[in-house]
Structure 1
Amino acid sequence: MAVVGLAGLTVGTATVLSQPAQAATAGLVRVDQAGFGTGEVKQAYLMTGAAVSGATFSVVDSSGATVLTGKVGAASLGKWNAAYPDVYPITFTSLKTPGTYHIKVAGNASATSPSFKITSTDALYGKLVADGVTFFQTQRDGSDVIAGSLKRQPSHLHDASATVYAWPRFASGDSDTITSSDLTKSGGPVDVSGGWFDAGDYLKFTNNEAFGAITLFAAQRALGSAAPPSLATEAHFGESWLDKAWDEKTKTLVLQVGIGSGNSAGTFYGDHDLWRLPQKDDGDTAKADRYAAAHRPVFLAAGPGGRISPNLAGRVAAAFALAAQIDASGNPKQAAAEYQAAASVYALADTDTPPSPLTTALPNSYYPEAIWHDAMELGATELALAAQKLGHSPATYLSQAATYAKDYIASDAGDTFNLYDNSALAHADLIKAMAAAGDPSGLAVTPAVLTADLKRQVQSAAAKAKADIFHAGGDYTNFDVNAHTFGFLTTQALYRQASGDRSFDAFATEQRDWLLGGNPWGVAFMVGEGSTFPHCLQHQVANLAGSLDGTGAVPTGAVMNGPNNPDNFAGGLGDFQDGMKKCPANGADPYNAFTGHTSRFADDVRSWQTDEPALDMTGSAVLGAAMQEALGG
């Protein structure tokens, strides 16, 4: 009789045992969830828990049809962490037909990617620009708020009649605790209503407001008629607050509105001690909250006519001068006033004896800036461009901008465009201002020198990206990696404009890919892009008025700090603050499994280290996306 054995085939009366099929290794596919331009290099990443060989992939469209097949890269790009020792490339550049797709991996590995689109670069980057502007709208303070999906309401109306105080004293080190027993009045009232909240809190910093306006105006200028109407409106909204912060008559500049923390004696609190919706502050009558909520203090950058820290003066001047360039053709009277404001602030820059540390915020540790030649180069350059549009001589500003550029290149070389380093935009615009002036001789730098420094900034990041498993050009072991990485999009585009060199186009695409899901965590670090993005931001309005589970309103366009060194989590995430909605509700940290290469990301409302969005980060995204859109990707 025939005998059937376990996992065997019966042939006559003999049993032949077959080899068991090898189980497929479960993996994860990381891909840019926003999608790709039709002509771009397209790559995803397969993360696996063990080495695999011979894996294949299929690209499947929204109807379920397979439109492309191929082999997963045979060689691992490297080890991410112990759980994912192998990462393999999936290249599908030949896919060019617009549509919505996902990737399926088969063979001895199994995985399915989130969906993504193939579309035009205009549509791809245009959405990022529009969404970034939406976040700026979410950050509005004062009476002219935009309700939006988070149902914003007017807030801090008492800022219209605020008291000016002397700078408080802070505890040693990087502490933001005030040691003064009370604040000392020095002037006022002043109208500082409106403007944008800086981050997840409700403080307003002139330095950061200026940077926000710079990025929006520069984005509007780059896009021209293709700019969404909301971009021009929002840029001028920010500039209108700067116009309140700068008093042309007394030559005084507001530094900030509000304090972060209270004093060591516990007799008054700061903004960070409260967790609430901003519209609650005007009605807060608690004595300890007097500076945190209802009657927020104002601090000046310097006394009337006093010298202003050059990083701050240069940046504010650049914002006004950019506004003047935008308004020169349609509203010359306003442009003239903006040009005058830019020139006045710029003239007060203390470049002979700059303060140490530079003046950024109170305390400086909130935004510890180290260089200033870049900001002064930008201020002088934008003044030169504004002068050319308004019929004034740009010669003095061109000369000064070139000198500051030379000083920057000699001693301040940073990494890319961001809040702390504005040189890329300054260099590129200085090249344009020189050309418009007929390329005068005798300046401290030449267009070739400026172009070479732009290349240096891009090339440095591109070299790092080439060696990185996920082609990241930024430092994801340190703060602000997302802002810096969006800055690469700006710097690469500016360099390409100046040189015509397209050799870094693929690098720019890789940086966007990393930001929007092609990273170890599989997260888009800009809210609203793709299917997986943070929902537990350290952002009071989002936490209290938004959706915590992804089914409702979110702070669209918000860009948060991003992955950070695990050492910054040494003390844990801490307790939930009074008033916070717990997020995640179950306290789980699904992203900790992907901690690797000295980098961790946590989507938790307590995680200021990774999950707090800010104006400068989102402004960097808006300008980077606009510059890429202007170049057609």
Structure 2
Amino acid sequence: ISNEHVPANSFTLHNAITDKAVFKGKAEIYSGKDWGLRSAARLDFSDIESPGGYYIRVGSIKSDPFRIAADVYKGTADYLLRYMRQQRCGYNPYYADSCHTHDGYIVDHPEKTGEIIDVTGGWHDASDYLQYVTTSANAVYQMLFAWKRNPEVFTDYYDASGNRGSNGIPDILDEAKWGIDWLIKMNPDSGEMYNQIADDRDHRGFRIPAEDKVSYGNGLYRPVYFVTGKSQGLASYKNRTTGVSSTAGKYASAFALGSEIFREFDPALADKLAVRAMDAWQFALTDVGVTQTACTVSPYFYEEDNYVDDLELAGWEMFSLTGDSSYLVQADYWGTLEPVSPWIEKDTARHYQFYPFVNLGHACIGLSETAYSDKYIAFMRKGLRLMEDRRKDDPFRVKVPFIWCSNNYVTAALTQIMLYTEASGDQSFRKSEAALRDWLFGCNPWGTTMICGLPAGGDYPLYPHAALTALRGKIPEGGLIDGPVFSGIYNGLIGVTLLRPDPYAVFQNGKVVYHDDIGDYSTNEPTMDGTADLTIYLSALENEGVKQSGNESDVVIDEQGAIIRKNPGNKEIFLLFSADEYGEGFVHILNVLSRHKAGGSFFLTGNFLRNRKFSSVVKRIISDGHFLGPHSDRHLLYA
């Protein structure tokens, strides 16, 4: 995208090592008017599948080099969990400290208002410290769903507390269980559910979690909102709650899927969750309607207006858990009431009005190969077709509404396309999927990815709206930021002030804006639920890459990407030797290897290779047929 005419209607793809042109393509030319610039072009080289390093040339313009490979998404789903661990409330492993240990005191309960309840745990919602069952139960469910579909890609480098050290349970399940433990606290008994900790009085500037001293009039205790099914708000501002189904349905789905998955790891927990799921399902039907989050000092709350999707998914998960077909009948009843996610149909929404952003109930039934499957595949296709048919002249092909948390809508659309494609076999939305995926990874006017710290060495948000960045100068790694918004929305916000010159200023004159700036809470704030939601899609990409490369189980790779074990199913060891300034044992080592007809791998520093007294050793390593590879140049630890 440019303020000048595209210099050519063709482009070439070059091998980054040889500079040889390996592909010539035709540029698709678009107007850049909607984006505040003169012209734009799409360059499609999808036919190139050979692994390697490449760059693009358009006229005299040359891109940065990039890599094509089956494993480019390896580790990305696990990377998102860094942000989830950083968002933990109670004990926080990132800070090695605890916060909000006094949570909390009950409000809006007919008998227990003012009583103390232990609900410490869970996750902070974003860069503020509010906690919602709405987003947390959804985050738990989507991480469990990601594990259920792609267990092969998730690793175990952290324990249940989020500290370094494996515990025999994949890290994504540790994270999901952290959320489940909190949900159990927030649902201490049948018919007793709580929906929220704290409220908008929290919004008083940046502070480190353990140093949060915001008072709600009861010392360090924060309010815990009882699910009443009625409008709530402790002052003049009220939400529009109409019932309990949206919250109770989310509890039921998370508990039911949790029971299924943790059966292998913790049977006692699985039994407990099965009972909780049944209770939550029954409670969801006692007062049909939505439970919105509560506000106090401003009209800021999550305006969730739909609940039938929550009952559909809960019904499906109860059927999946119990095998009782009556739950599937009920799931179909509720699912039929909302064939298309309303934000897709309307192409807009108020803040969190239609939530979750992706209807996984539709996907589960569509994938189920039951008598209902075809109907739900058609529902999914209808929604995707509505998006596909909009704004056909847009060069970026991103058809979601650019409202607050637009990246969450991008993630939802990606997830729906992926699951629809699997359920139907229909490949017709693959180009839309690629455009949405590429948008998150830098194919946007600002040329930035939308995930803090990913990819390493890439262009990603450096100044997100986060206390960690504002007060400690560090980025919240793995966090998916809110994403761009319509300029009209941004210009109407209160309290948004950019804190540094905008390096993207030339790209802010169109319909949408994005600022990599700590002061912009509307476009550059990471969110917990959006990050958790992305685990489904990224784990699927990683799993697909593993299958393409044919290396499902031949290597074990650590968190930093290093191979630490090969062929774990084989009784085979590899002998590795390294050296820097000393080499007195090499003759003995080489003699032993020769006697046993064994091979070794030798990684030697530049110091060792330059030392003439070791030249005969180096020559023998080569002549004996061992592997000789480079280490660091001058220090054994620098590898």
TM-score (structure 1 length as normaliser): 0.74
Cα deviation for residue 491 of structure 1 reads 0.5
**Distance in 2 between residues matched to 1:556 and 1:461, nearest whole Å:** 31
Q: Does 1:626 align with 2:539?
A: yes
Other-structure match for 2:100: 156
Q: Alpha-carbon deviations, 1:436-457, whole Å to 9, x = none?
A: xxx4xxxxxx221111001112
Note closer, same or farther for the CA distance 1:152–1:504 as it changes in structure 2 (3 Å cut). Answer: farther
Question: Does structure 1 conserve the Cα–Cα contact (< 8 Å) formed by 2:90 and 2:122?
Answer: yes
Other-structure match for 1:96: 49
SS at match of 1:88: strand
Cα deviation for residue 564 of structure 1 reads 0.7
Q: Does 1:257 align with 2:210?
A: no
Q: CA RMSD in A?
A: 3.2
Cα deviation for residue 432 of structure 1 reads 4.9
SS at match of 1:68: strand
Q: Pick from 130, 138, 147: which aligns with 2:78?
A: 130
Cα deviation for residue 224 of structure 1 reads 2.4
Cα deviation for residue 290 of structure 1 reads 4.6
Map 1:35-184 to 2 at 5 A. Answer: 47-54=1-8, 57-61=11-15, 63=17, 65-70=19-24, 73=27, 76-80=29-33, 84-106=37-59, 110-120=60-70, 123-143=71-91, 145-147=92-94, 151=95, 153-159=97-103, 162-166=104-108
Note closer, same or farther for the CA distance 1:423–1:208 as it changes in structure 2 (3 Å cut). Answer: closer
Aligned AA (2:68):
I
Q: Alpha-carbon deviations, 1:535-586, whole Å to 9, x = none?
A: 2211112322233xxxxxx21211111111212232677477xxxxxx85xx
**Which stretches of structure 1, 4 residues or more, deviate above 6 A after TM superposition?**
416-419
**Distance in 2 between residues matched to 1:303 and 1:455, nearest whole Å:** 34
Unaligned runs of 5+ in 1: 1-46, 168-183, 262-270, 389-393, 440-445, 548-553, 577-582
Other-structure match for 1:216: 143
Question: Does structure 2 conserve the Cα–Cα contact (< 8 Å) formed by 1:102 and 1:114?
Answer: yes
Question: Does structure 2 conserve the Cα–Cα contact (< 8 Å) formed by 1:196 and 1:204?
Answer: yes
Map 1:44-443 to 2 at 5 A. Answer: 47-54=1-8, 57-61=11-15, 63=17, 65-70=19-24, 73=27, 76-80=29-33, 84-106=37-59, 110-120=60-70, 123-143=71-91, 145-147=92-94, 151=95, 153-159=97-103, 162-166=104-108, 186-228=113-155, 229-248=170-189, 251-261=191-201, 271-281=202-212, 284=213, 289-290=215-216, 294-302=220-228, 309-350=244-285, 353-354=288-289, 358-362=291-295, 365-388=300-323, 394-409=324-339, 414=344, 420-421=355-356, 424-432=359-367, 435=370, 439=371
Cα deviation for residue 245 of structure 1 reads 0.8
Question: Does structure 2 conserve the Cα–Cα contact (< 8 Å) formed by 1:573 and 1:606?
Answer: no
Note closer, same or farther for the CA distance 1:514–1:70 as it changes in structure 2 (3 Å cut). Answer: same
Other-structure match for 1:28: none
Count of aligned positions: 513
**Distance in 1 between residues matched to 2:492 and 2:366, nearest whole Å:** 48
Q: Pick from 398, 409, 427: which aligns with 1:472?
A: 398
SS at match of 1:101: strand
Q: Pick from 519, 534, 537: which aligns with 2:444?
A: 519
Cα deviation for residue 152 of structure 1 reads 5.2
Other-structure match for 1:617: 530
Q: Alpha-carbon deviations, 1:32-63, whole Å to 9, x = none?
A: xxxxxxxxxxxxxxx23222453654445554
**Distance in 2 between residues matched to 1:188 and 1:116, nearest whole Å:** 58
Cα deviation for residue 79 of structure 1 reads 2.0
**Distance in 2 between residues matched to 1:258 and 1:572, nearest whole Å:** 23
SS at match of 1:273: coil
Question: Does structure 1 conserve the Cα–Cα contact (< 8 Å) formed by 2:366 and 2:375?
Answer: no
Question: Does structure 1 conserve the Cα–Cα contact (< 8 Å) formed by 2:53 and 2:68?
Answer: yes
Question: Does structure 2 conserve the Cα–Cα contact (< 8 Å) formed by 1:377 and 1:423?
Answer: no
**Distance in 2 between residues matched to 1:314 and 1:82, nearest whole Å:** 40
Question: Does structure 1 conserve the Cα–Cα contact (< 8 Å) formed by 2:244 and 2:284?
Answer: yes
Of 237-246 and 322-331, more deviation after overlay is shown by: 322-331
Note closer, same or farther for the CA distance 1:211–1:465 as it changes in structure 2 (3 Å cut). Answer: farther
Aligned AA (1:98):
P
Of 532-541 and 76-85, more deviation after overlay is shown by: 76-85
Cα deviation for residue 371 of structure 1 reads 1.1
Q: Does 1:563 align with 2:484?
A: yes
Note closer, same or farther for the CA distance 1:48–1:307 as it changes in structure 2 (3 Å cut). Answer: closer
Question: Does structure 1 conserve the Cα–Cα contact (< 8 Å) formed by 2:55 and 2:65?
Answer: yes
Note closer, same or farther for the CA distance 1:623–1:80 as it changes in structure 2 (3 Å cut). Answer: farther
Aligned AA (1:399):
V
SS at match of 2:334: helix
Of 48-57 and 209-218, more deviation after overlay is shown by: 48-57
Aligned AA (1:50):
E
Map 1:523-562 to 2 at 5 A. Answer: 523-530=448-455, 531-547=458-474, 554-562=475-483
Aligned AA (2:5):
A
Structure with bigger RCO (C-alpha 8 Å, 6+ apart): 1
Cα deviation for residue 69 of structure 1 reads 4.9
Q: Alpha-carbon deviations, 1:195-248, whole Å to 9, x = none?
A: 111001111111111011011000000102333322111111111111111112
**Distance in 2 between residues matched to 1:84 and 1:597, nearest whole Å:** 7
**Distance in 2 between residues matched to 1:279 and 1:80, nearest whole Å:** 47
Other-structure match for 2:161: none
Question: Does structure 2 conserve the Cα–Cα contact (< 8 Å) formed by 1:309 and 1:349?
Answer: yes
Note closer, same or farther for the CA distance 1:627–1:80 as it changes in structure 2 (3 Å cut). Answer: farther
Other-structure match for 2:556: none
**Distance in 1 between residues matched to 2:483 and 2:219, nearest whole Å:** 29
